[in-house]
Structure 1
Amino acid sequence: MPRALIVGAGPGFSASLARLLAAEGYAVALAARDTAKLTALADETGASLHRCDASDPAQVAALFDQPEAAEAEVVLYNASFRVRGPTVELAPEDVRRTLEVCAFGAFLVAQQAAAHMLPRGAGTILLTGASAGVKGYARSAPFAMGKFALRGLGQALARELHPQGIHVVHIVVDGGIRSERRPETGQDTLLDPDAIATAALAAIRQPRNAWSAEIELRPWVETF
C-alpha cells in the first residue's frame, strides 16, 4: 500500500486530497500542531494522526522517524500562517512566525522527504502556494514574503531533484476556496477544494517525461 503524508492538514484542499488519496488506496498520514481538529477526517479516511509543529526542526525530524512519514511516496506541505496590517504596525514576531511556517517549515519537510525519497529514486513533493507567491498585496507583506520564498524553494528543489527522480510541484492556488464560511454562489466563482485535489492527483500521476514543476489553479472569473 503506497503512503502519503500531509503536513499542515486541515479543512479544504488538504482534507479533499486526503479523501482522494485514501480512495486511491493510499495509507494517509495527517500532521498538524492541533490533531484534535482532524479526528473526523482521520475516522473517514483511516489516516494516522501526528502532532508536529512544522517550523520546529526537531519535531519534523521526529515525524520522519516514523514509517508513516519516512516511507511516504507523496508528501504535501500545506501549512500556512499569515498576519495582515500596515507594514509600520506589524509586530516583528508575527512576521517571523509567518516566514517560519510558510517557508522555513516547507524547507524542513522537503529536506526530510527528499532524504528518504532519494535512496528509492522516486517520490512526489507538493507545495501549496497562493496568489501571494506571485504578486504581493497591500497590507500583506509577510504573507507575500513567505509565499514568494516557498515558490523559490519549489523552483530550486525541482531543478535539483527532478533529475534524481523526485517530482516537486508548486501549486499556485490563485483565488478564494469554497468552504462553509465562504459558500459558493452558484456561479463557480470559488475554487472547489475537491477540484484542487483532483489536479494534485493528476500531477502526482504525471510520467517523468512530462513533469510539471508548477501548476496554477484559479476560477474562471479570477483576474491574473
Structure 2
Amino acid sequence: MSELSNSSAPTAWIAGVGASAGLGAALARRFAHEGYTVILTGRTTSRVDTIAAEIRAQGGHAVTAAADVTNEAQIAQIAAQVREQGTLRSAIFNAGNAVRAPTLELETAQFEQAWRTNVLGGFVFARAALPLLLDAPDATTAPTGAGSLIFTGATASLRGRPPFAAFASAKAGLRSLSQSLAREFSPRGVHVAHVVIDGGIDGERLRSAAPQRVSDAGPDGLLHIDAIAESYWQLHRQNRSAWTQEIDLRPWREPF
C-alpha cells in the first residue's frame, strides 16, 4: 500500500478503480474533495497510482491498494491498513465483469468469473469493510449513521436478457446481497445502498469499445461520471431518518 494520508480525516474505501475517466476514479475525486482520505483498490497498480497522484495534485489525500477483490487474504490485509488511516465512513464496491456472449457460446469459466467478481467480490469486500464501519464511535447516534456501504449495480441487476446471461445473474446476485446486508446492518447504523446504473456511462470503457454509441447518444445521452459520483455522495450524506436502499440513475433520453 502506497500511503499519503491525513489520519485525522474520515476515510472512504473504493474498490473497482480503473481508468481516470471511469466511475471509480470519479467517486474517489468526489470524496477527496470533501476532505476524505480515499483508499483506492483496483486490479492494476499503475492505474490506481495515476489516479492517486491526480488527487494529491489537487490537494487531496489518497492511498493506493491494488488487489483482486475476490482474494480474501489481499482484501483482509487492505482492511487492516484502512483501519490505520482513520475512521472508515464509506465503502463503495464498484467492481464488475461485463461478460457478453450468446448463451450457447458462453463458457462455464466465463460464467463463474462473472459471479466471482460481482457477487463473491462484493461479499468479500463487504465482510472486510463492515467491521470498520461499525467501529465508528457514533455508529448509532450520528444523523447519518456509522457510514455507508454502497454497491454499483446495472440495468442487468433488474432485467436479464441475452447476450448477458452471466452478467445479469451476477448483478442480480449482488443486488440481493445488498438487500440482505441492508436488513441486517441498517439497524446497526450502516447505510447499505445499491445504485442501478441504467444506461451507458460516458467514460473510457464505452468510448473505447463503442464510439458510435457515444456519438449516437447525443448531448447528455450518457451518464456523466461526475454526475453519478454526486449521487453517491448524496446517498452517503442522507439522514438516517430517510435512507434510500436503492436508487436508479439513467440519462434523460434512456428508455425504460
Q: Give the structure-1-normalised TM-score.
A: 0.95
Note the alpha carbon deviations across 1:180-207, whole angstroms, 9 max, x for none.
4154654211001100001111101100
User: Secondary structure of 1:127's match?
Assistant: strand
Q: 1:218 to 1:72 in 2, by over 3 A?
A: same
1:32 aligns with 2:47: no
**Residue 188 of structure 2 corresponds to which residue in structure 1?**
164
Q: What does 1:76-95 correspond to in 2, within 5 Å? A: 76-95=92-111
Note the alpha carbon deviations across 1:110-157, whole angstroms, 9 max, x for none.
111112222322121010000110101211100001100010011111
Larger Rg: 2
- What is the one-letter code of the residue matched to 2:133? M
**8 Å Cα contact 2:89/2:148 also seen in 1:** yes
**8 Å Cα contact 2:18/2:44 also seen in 1:** no
**Residue 149 of structure 1 corresponds to which residue in structure 2?**
173
- What is the one-letter code of the residue matched to 1:53? D
1:49 aligns with 2:57: no
Gaps of 5+ in 2: 1-8, 57-61, 140-145
Distance 1:39 1:67 in 2: 17
**8 Å Cα contact 2:134/2:190 also seen in 1:** yes
Note the alpha carbon deviations across 1:61-100, whole angstroms, 9 max, x for none.
1111113678421111011112211212211111111100
Q: What does 1:1-224 correspond to in 2, within 5 Å? A: 1-11=9-19, 12-46=22-56, 47-67=62-82, 71-120=87-136, 121=139, 122-180=146-204, 181=207, 182=211, 183=214, 186-224=218-256
How far off its partner does 1:39 sit?
Answer: 2.5
Distance 1:21 1:114 in 2: 19
Structure 1 vs Structure 2: percent identity of aligned residues? 41
The RMSD of aligned alpha carbons is 1.6
Note the alpha carbon deviations across 1:36-82, whole angstroms, 9 max, x for none.
12222111113111121001111111111113678421111011112
- What is the one-letter code of the residue matched to 1:31? T
The aligned length equals 224
**8 Å Cα contact 2:41/2:48 also seen in 1:** no
Moved more, 54-63 or 190-199: 54-63
**8 Å Cα contact 2:93/2:125 also seen in 1:** yes
Distance 1:35 1:216 in 2: 31
User: Secondary structure of 1:187's match?
Assistant: coil
User: Secondary structure of 2:200's match?
Assistant: coil
Moved more, 45-54 or 167-176: 45-54
- What is the one-letter code of the residue matched to 2:148? T
Distance 1:151 1:164 in 2: 20
- What is the one-letter code of the residue matched to 1:51? A
Distance 1:55 1:71 in 2: 24
Which stretches of structure 1, 4 residues or longer, exceed 6 Å deviation after superposition? none
Distance 2:150 2:110 in 1: 25
**8 Å Cα contact 2:100/2:164 also seen in 1:** yes
Moved more, 7-16 or 100-109: 7-16
